[in-house]
Structure formats: C-alpha cells, structure tokens
Amino acid sequence: MAGLLKELSQDKSLENNLEFLQQIAQRNYLVNGDESKPFYQLMTALRIGNEVYQRVSGQRKIDEYRAQCAANIIAYVKANPNASNNVLKKEVENQVAMFAVKVQSM
C-alpha cells in the first residue's frame, strides 16, 4: 500500500493518473451530461493545480538533476571498476555536492 501511495505521488504517476481520471470524467460528462459535470470540473482543477505546483516548485528540474547525478555516479563506477572505496566515496560526494549546488541555484 505504501508503495502504491508513493508511486501515485510521484510526478509522472500523478500526472498520468490525473490525465486518465480526467478522461474518464470527460467521457462520463459526454455520456451523462450535467450529472457528471462536477467530477469533470474537479479532475480538471486537480490537473491544473498539479501543473501549477510542478512549475512553481521546480520539482521536475530537481528530479532531472537527481537523475543526472545518479547517471554520473553510475557512469563513473562503470568506467572505473577497480576504483577503491575511498575514491568511489569521493566521487559520490562530489556528484552529490554538484547536485546540491544546482538545486540551490534554482
């Protein structure tokens, strides 16, 4: 259950779920008329609210920076398979520090 809630709250999952629910609401509105209008209005408002939050908070950019940080660490480990734990630790610290600088500069 916790995994499902976490997945639903992640940006793309939430966005996809809201889009799907809005499509259902729109279909119901087209089929049932005004009876389904409040649900359609609610789903539309939720999608707009989510989009505003994503743009204002910069969460998408933070997620992009996080993925870039992880990819850089993975690439370094693959390129340096014999690196010592200390060297790997320093590289991870360096990548995390660069991630933090990018986020703070937003």
Helix H, strand E, coil C: the string for 7-47 is HHHCHHHHHHHHHHHHHHHHHHHHHHHHHHHHHHHHHHHHH
65 and 52: one domain? no
28 and 52: one domain? yes
pLDDT of residue 13: 74
Residue 69 lies in a domain: yes
Residue 2 lies in a domain: no
> What pTM value is reported for the model?
0.59
pLDDT of residue 55: 85
Separation between Cα atoms, residue 93 and residue 75, nearest integer Å: 15
Residue 32 lies in a domain: yes
Query: How many domains does the chain fold into?
Result: 2
75 and 48: one domain? no
83 and 46: one domain? no
67 and 100: one domain? yes
pLDDT of residue 93: 96
* 35 contacts 10 by C-beta, under 8 angstroms: no
pLDDT of residue 87: 94
* 42 contacts 50 by C-beta, under 8 angstroms: no
Q: Which residues of the chain have pLDDT under 50?
A: 1, 4-5, 8-9
pLDDT of residue 8: 46
67 and 37: one domain? no
Domain enclosing residue 73, as ranges: 61-104
What letter would DSSP give residue 48?
A: H
